[in-house]
Chains A and B, each alone.
Chain A
Amino acid sequence: MTSFRVLGVGLALVWLVTAAVTGVELAGADETCNSPYIAKLIKGQEDYVYVWTLGVDGVGDGSDKLVTIDVNPKSKRYGTVVGAVSVGGRGEAHHMGLTDDRRFIWAGGLAEPKIYVFDIATDPAQPKLVRTIGDMAERTGYLGPHTYYALPGRMLVQALSNTKDKGGVTGIALYNNNGDFVTSYPMPTTNGGDGYGYDLAVNPRKNVLLTSSFTGYDNYMRPLGDVVKDPEAMKKFGNTMVAWDLKTMKPRKVFAVPGAPLEIRWSPKAGDNWAITAAALTSKLWLVKEDKGEWQAKEVGTIADPAKIPLPVDISITRDGKGLWVNTFMDGTTRYFDLSTPEAPKETYSKVTGKQVNMISQSWDGKRVYITSSLLANWDKGGADNEQFLRGFAWDGKELKQVFEVDFTKEKLGRAHHMKLGSKSLKSS
């Protein structure tokens, strides 16, 4: 192999300057929590929030749909629905992800192996369903595509389950941006691995991919009340995170992280090389950080009272890596943690933002926060507690103030779940 000489001083200086200018950083706050490979982050005022919405029998057309909400305060249609694209069926719509060029949203349902591709560039106000990828089960045996994570020209798709026994052992599928299947990577079942999957997130500076673990179809499609009363079912939740070599896509280390670690957020701050996650069942925050040349996972904080099973679901990290929003589903509370010392997160603010709250997204500057209500069709609350909404909030660093609400039941849309931000400026030329 060829070896390279030591970097010239002048060259190094140029790189220092350019690195400082361009800020080689992980894209992280929802605008901060996207794949670092996604271009065109919206760093000003977003125009739209796209909401991937679960269809409800008897509500509107009953189908899963991508709903577009106008969120620009200067717009005459601020805080209203400006578009909805139905996929013509119901498959437990859950998460979605942007392609690296931000022209398309990939979205899927946990009850089926289908992936829907929406064009958001031709007309950002009116996304169009342009492709349905239906070969994941046939190609991989995986069921329930969950996380869609952009790599250059490709999409990693983390599944939650499998078609064979509908348990939690699953894997990652890799597609190119045309929607052609490339290959798959099973979650590790040796060296401590439980084979489960949930989220994935990349730190390209360190060539590391982190994955987390949830549960399989048999549990997530079953009413939550039944699951928690069934000791055998409760054993079938993920208790691991895995650090992978991104380049080789081989597992490097399995961490014991009990209680279903879910969303993974790398600090977006340049120079930071740590990630944080929340374990849903144990209500704990975990830090993944390199220490003495090896990646380690460490419990660093508690969210609310774990005995009451508040069920922390989504988290959103600020762009400077110093703050973390945490939504706890059961008590409908949105909490803010000071992450200045990531080894010791401290809750500094909380507010009940709904009777049930799930996903939380923030603008690049952190001044606007969006919250939706639905966790899973069979896990959402019933009766009057089954609020379904997108709520927009203003955050001044001290107080969350609600500035608009879209009632998804009143609008006959369904259950509001995952969000991505959109902008008129990203319209294709």
Chain B
Amino acid sequence: MRRAGAAALLLWLAAAPARAHEPAGPPLSFEPPAPGTYTLQRIMAAPDGEVLDLDGRAQRLARFTHERITLLALIYTTCVDPEGCPRTLPVFDAVRRAVGDSARLRQHVRLVTLSFDPERDTPAAMRGYAGRRATPGRVPWVFLTTRSPAAVAPLLDGFGQDVRATTSRGHGAPQREISHVLKVFLLDPAGVVREIYDSTFLHPRTVLNDVETLLQER
């Protein structure tokens, strides 16, 4: 059953860019508070370290976590958990579209997808994963990976992202599996984490309200 659900979601995700106008997920079962009626706390500073862009060029992560409000997802491209990494794509699509439609918002926001599985997620693999999403648009969406597990480890530690890699030994060849808790981070232009979304709260409406709330601080 779980595999069937995952397969269905993946099928939908594969076509997600074609229907990026649709909301990413079921309706919220609550009315989120209006932007600016609440405070997003300064949870922690985002870490910095070396990352690789889609061309394999070394960059500092800080380049992509400052100056704009940043929505950053830590993922691995082979994740099939419907409540995990695949959730980020349609939500980011929807946020990108909504922000891009707003002349007031688009200059203040960027999206970042950073892999924590550099052994499989090479720059080339990330390019394939990103597809048309990596095409420059009104709202930048940056896809990043790292050179090695050693390079990504301090970033994961800094974000408080728990990732466990295990090897399952069934009847076939050993399979490397990764378990983690989905976390998506909203950073202010100073690179401070102001919200952390798990799958429950990762919804375009909550994210957009939070982006608006941060903008109202300016």
Contacts and interface: CB of A to CB of B under 8 A. Distances in A.
A18 B5 contact: yes
B44 A180 contact: yes
Nearest to A426: B164
B208 interface: yes
B118 interface: no
A182 interface: yes
B2 A22 contact: yes
A40 to B, nearest CB: 8
A8 B162 CA distance: 34
A10 B164 contact: no
Nearest to A206: B30
Interface string B1-36: 110111011001000000101110111011011010
Contacts, number: 125
A21 B4 contact: yes
Interface of B is mostly: loop
Interface string A216-258: 0000000000000000000000000000010111100000000
| Residue from A8, A152, A182, A428 with most neighbouring chain B CB atoms (10 Å) | A152
Contact of A248 (B8, B38, B44): B38
Contacts of A39: 162, 181
Interface in A128-143: none
A21 B30 contact: no
Contacts of A205: 29-30, 200
Interface stretch (B50-58, B64-72, B94-102, B134-142): B94-102
A74 B25 CA distance: 43
B38 A247 contact: yes
A183 B5 contact: no
Given A101-B162, A177-B160, A247-B32, A24 B200 contact: yes
B197 interface: yes
Interface in A1-44: 1-2, 4-5, 7-8, 10-12, 14-15, 17-22, 24, 36-37, 39-40
B83 A174 contact: no
B22 A5 contact: yes
B216 interface: no
B104 to A, nearest CB: 11
A151 B181 CA distance: 12
B166 interface: yes
A36 B201 CA distance: 12
Interface in B33-84: 33, 35, 37-38, 41-44, 82-83
B205 interface: yes
Contacts of B41: 174, 182-183
A18 B12 CA distance: 12
B33 A12 contact: no
A88 interface: no
B181 A101 contact: yes
B83 A2 contact: no
Interface string A294-336: 0000000000000000000000000000000000000000000
A386 interface: no
Contacts of A5: 21-23
B209 to A, nearest CB: 8
Given A4-B204, A7-B22, A153-B160, A245 B43 contact: no
B160 A11 contact: no
A110 B95 CA distance: 45
Nearest to B99: A2
Given A21-B5, A101-B181, A204-B201, 14 more contacts: A1-B35, A7-B22, A7-B23, A15-B25, A15-B26, A18-B8, A21-B2, A39-B162, A101-B162, A153-B196, A178-B44, A182-B41, A206-B29, A429-B165
30 contacts: A2-B98, A2-B101, A4-B23, A4-B94, A7-B22, A7-B23, A7-B27, A10-B12, A11-B23, A15-B26, A17-B8, A18-B82, A37-B198, A39-B181, A100-B181, A101-B160, A102-B162, A152-B197, A174-B41, A176-B43, A182-B41, A204-B200, A205-B29, A205-B30, A205-B200, A207-B30, A207-B32, A247-B32, A248-B37, A429-B165
